[in-house]
Structure 1
């Protein structure tokens, strides 16, 4: 017996806190009882015949010593029996307590389902004894959509009620042999047997689960709406499916990957696991790690897209666009890394570093050129964003009047009051604020009138329609008419050819940007462009001229000496 086994056996043999003296006392009592039985057998063989003869008058008086010994033996036997019964009841109670403790360790106290540990063990047993040709197992991972909002809006008691109802509704739908577990939070998982040739049965079960769980949960007088995303993985997709708990963990992981794919595709739906999902998740994890490293190593750099006054054709400013100069993947566009940076909570750090770099770059441009910067909706949720931006302006000594921040319409629906306060704070310091991607969101005229915007930017989707669709011109014209009524100047995004440019020129005065004027460029190429157009900052232009003149003199002097 090992030391660990000995300790375990000792714990099972004694109650917690039981003293060794008490166990020794029990052993002594048991020994006395056995000795009393042995003495009873010996003394009873002598005393009982004498007692019978005495009652019948055939013998003299009883032997008092033997009689007392017999009575003492009887008392000791009764004492031992009583102690034996007490010990038996104690052991029975202890076993019941241990069984209850094991049961509580195997279930989730809130919903009564299995917990992760017990479910993994149960699934491992099912996989170990699975007849693969005749039966398969489907692991179904379930996650409630936007469950955090339930707790935030209605309180944690309402959240607990939703979890209990969800577990009960799923449990009622499970077929014979199905097992349900709550893994933690709002995550559930169940396993159901099915015939591998009839996977539609599992599809039907997942559909019913989505329909039944989507019904509102009544909490007090308030109905709480809930939807769910489901991922399904089959034991037929497993290699070495009979590896017990290791196989169970792998199967659960595959169903979890499919569930997250369902969330990514819009929530309130189900997907079966496919191998490319795992590859996508692995790539996503690599991207997340790469983004964090890239921020620390300064791999995110500002690129600049020209903004042109359409009437005069003059360069009036640049919009700063983020690019990731990754050592492994090359130059990566913002459509890849910005959504991930927002999800993992590093968009603020990334954006502030890019803006600071852009301020330093723009200080080398002509003072009349403006700098436009896109602001993420996630940043607009930070009540200190305006103060952070103003501190950056002061730290880099960049004129606020040259900065134009661009926010999207989606920002207006989350907290209009806070957005209005931020815009007002920035405008009071001279920063201009534009409404970006206008026409793609749900901003109303009342919001446009109440929020102090300086400019509207027409989304590129409307501008691109000008080259082929007649109604596209009508939409843009309508936006321009509205902007005139609101006294807001306009910037058109996505100008890609001369046809679109000429159409916009006929519509009125505005700024424009797009690939027709060139692709976004890094800071070095921008300086070369501005140098050719004599649009560098005056002090920089003087320094460049002086350096060029000195270099020319040196070359001429060298030529003379060589002659």
Structure 2
């Protein structure tokens, strides 16, 4: 949540108008002129009074002639000018006082956050540099703590920005209560705070204890209108004596290192603290390099679909294939989907990656025997897209691929974001003839009521239960239970992770199941898959030219794609 921008002196409408310094200059010129006139009036009063006042006194005593009328009028004018000058002097004194107050307020607004009263980002940088210099002279070091309120966006969305502002004020007050002498506290912006504290060289333990006490003190419930809010913080810590040789010791360097450590604390589960370590920065650089390679790899077509057989366990006949994404990077070599799929989702390129892979897979599968199906995984990100169904159907039309041969695999984690939207989308796809499978059944949080309310056509048993079933009675019991459940609901079942003949034999006893796993072969490229099918007489037509991607020149991640080829490592 962004804080309101502090007002500056330029924002204040002056007495002469809002158009810059010219009116102020004119007003100053008038002030000088008024002062000059008043001074001249005093001098003239002294001169005229010395000559006129004795005549006036004698005339009043009846001992002389009345004073000259012209000189008398001049004297009265001098008196009026002196009165005017005194009033203007009083006004000038008041204006000077108000200007000084305004300048003081402007300095405060320039250096402090208007919501919490803490220093702002600009002020903390100067103050930290001064503290570093002073601590160095005393033989001390400086610790920089970056503090981020966990899940603050959720607090704002659920309770409104006024409640969020109150939470920030409470957090700032609680941190300030623990601040040691000569310590600094700032709000960097949004829900981020910074503390800077000196410590004895070689003894950083008080800094870590300070971070721990902050996490405990802030974590107390925050009272709000409708009850209480649980608030936690993640803290990253950097030390002035632990920077790299290439770094300049200043506030910006400490802020950068503490920020890296804070994000590591969030990745570790939030509500904790982490010290900065140079390895964190190296990992961050490596991650950025991997992101660049991923983006360029999508544009270069380095991502290709592989296919794993799905077998009718009773007859051994191939019934279809599941598409799995593969990346062979020129720089990094083979990278598994468990590494690049989450990264692609996080940086917003999963849509473009998915669309390219799906388009190629539909082209490859178009020449297979019409009885063979193509299964593709989709992720929660795709199910949040209200245009997902239209995008997918467009790909089917472009590829001239029959919808009934396409099977979408939805994991249980997809069902907890927006159940109504998921149901609408899946029903729409199913009405077009596409098969919907519930993938990794048993490993998530799916309820039996969802099996009734959502339009699933197949259950897939997670490999975590299938692979160990020959030596684990509990796993074998779970597999049998899911198989019976599928039979009772009229849903066919596929078992993943079939890696031995013993597992296949046990599954065969459970009835008419499909299976996939290393026992039947590892995932293969499109060429290897076609050669296998050709040897079995399961090629229906000669290969056709691959359709050109309409957005091949578009930058990766410009729009969400139709499906996400998430897959287990195979």
- On whether the aligned pair clears a TM of 0.5, the verdict is yes
Is 1:277 the counterpart of 2:280 in the alignment? yes
Residue of structure 2 equivalent to 1:5: none
Q: Distance in 1 between matches of 2:272 and 2:29?
A: 65
Q: Distance in 2 between matches of 1:403 and 1:302?
A: 15
Q: Distance in 2 between matches of 1:78 and 1:136?
A: 62
| Aligned 8 A contact 2:459 2:492 in 1 | yes
Runs (5+) with no aligned partner, structure 1 = 1-7, 542-563
Q: 1:15 to 1:449 in 2, by over 3 A?
A: closer
Residue of structure 2 equivalent to 1:314: 317
1:333 offset after TM fit, Å? Answer: 1.5
Q: Tell which deviates more after alignment, 441-450 or 512-521.
A: 512-521
Residue of structure 2 equivalent to 1:417: 420
Q: Tell which deviates more after alignment, 445-454 or 78-87.
A: 78-87
Q: Distance in 1 between matches of 2:537 and 2:138?
A: 78
| Aligned 8 A contact 1:258 1:272 in 2 | yes
Residue of structure 2 equivalent to 1:229: 234
> For 2:135, what is the secondary structure of its paired residue?
coil
1:271 offset after TM fit, Å? Answer: 1.0
> For 2:186, what is the secondary structure of its paired residue?
strand
> For 2:84, what is the secondary structure of its paired residue?
helix
Mapping for residues 428-439 of structure 1, pairs under 5 Å = 428-439=431-442
> For 1:129, what is the secondary structure of its paired residue?
helix
Q: 1:133 to 1:287 in 2, by over 3 A?
A: farther
Residue of structure 2 equivalent to 1:519: 522
Residue of structure 2 equivalent to 1:120: 125
Q: Distance in 2 between matches of 1:357 and 1:226?
A: 47
> For 1:382, what is the secondary structure of its paired residue?
coil
| Aligned 8 A contact 1:132 1:236 in 2 | no
1:62 offset after TM fit, Å? Answer: 8.0
Q: 1:383 to 1:222 in 2, by over 3 A?
A: farther
1:196 offset after TM fit, Å? Answer: 4.0
Mapping for residues 368-407 of structure 1, pairs under 5 Å = 368-407=371-410
| Aligned 8 A contact 2:467 2:497 in 1 | yes
Q: 1:53 to 1:239 in 2, by over 3 A?
A: farther
Tell me the number of residue pairs that the alignment of Structure 1 and Structure 2 aligns: 529
CA deviations 1:20-77 (Å, max 9, x no partner) are 55443322222223333444555566667x5799599898668657776666555444
1:181 paired residue among 177, 186, 195: 186
Q: Tell which deviates more after alignment, 79-88 or 259-268.
A: 79-88
Residue of structure 2 equivalent to 1:171: 176
| Aligned 8 A contact 1:405 1:432 in 2 | yes
Residue of structure 2 equivalent to 1:441: 444
Q: Distance in 2 between matches of 1:325 and 1:132?
A: 55
Residue of structure 1 equivalent to 2:215: 210
> For 2:538, what is the secondary structure of its paired residue?
coil
Is 1:157 the counterpart of 2:154 in the alignment? no
1:375 offset after TM fit, Å? Answer: 0.3
Is 1:26 the counterpart of 2:35 in the alignment? no
> For 1:521, what is the secondary structure of its paired residue?
coil
Is 1:359 the counterpart of 2:362 in the alignment? yes
CA deviations 1:198-244 (Å, max 9, x no partner) are 4332233222322333333332124333332221112222368996x
| Aligned 8 A contact 2:237 2:262 in 1 | yes
| Aligned 8 A contact 1:228 1:268 in 2 | yes
Residue of structure 1 equivalent to 2:98: 93
1:139 paired residue among 135, 144, 153: 144
> For 1:406, what is the secondary structure of its paired residue?
strand
1:465 paired residue among 465, 468, 480: 468
> For 2:468, what is the secondary structure of its paired residue?
helix
CA deviations 1:425-465 (Å, max 9, x no partner) are 22222211111111211111222232221211111222222
CA deviations 1:476-512 (Å, max 9, x no partner) are 2232233233232222222233343334334443222
| Aligned 8 A contact 1:347 1:379 in 2 | no
| Aligned 8 A contact 1:258 1:271 in 2 | yes
Q: 1:333 to 1:51 in 2, by over 3 A?
A: same
> For 1:466, what is the secondary structure of its paired residue?
coil
1:128 offset after TM fit, Å? Answer: 2.7
Residue of structure 2 equivalent to 1:553: none
| Aligned 8 A contact 1:235 1:241 in 2 | no
Q: 1:432 to 1:242 in 2, by over 3 A?
A: closer
Is 1:261 the counterpart of 2:267 in the alignment? no
Residue of structure 1 equivalent to 2:301: 298
Q: 1:57 to 1:300 in 2, by over 3 A?
A: same
| Aligned 8 A contact 1:420 1:451 in 2 | yes
Q: Distance in 1 between matches of 2:278 and 2:268?
A: 17
Higher share of residues assigned helix = 1
2:430 paired residue among 406, 411, 427: 427
| Aligned 8 A contact 2:363 2:399 in 1 | yes
CA RMSD of aligned residues (A): 3.1
1:338 offset after TM fit, Å? Answer: 0.9
CA deviations 1:489-546 (Å, max 9, x no partner) are 22222223334333433444322222333322221221122222222124559xxxxx
> For 1:236, what is the secondary structure of its paired residue?
coil
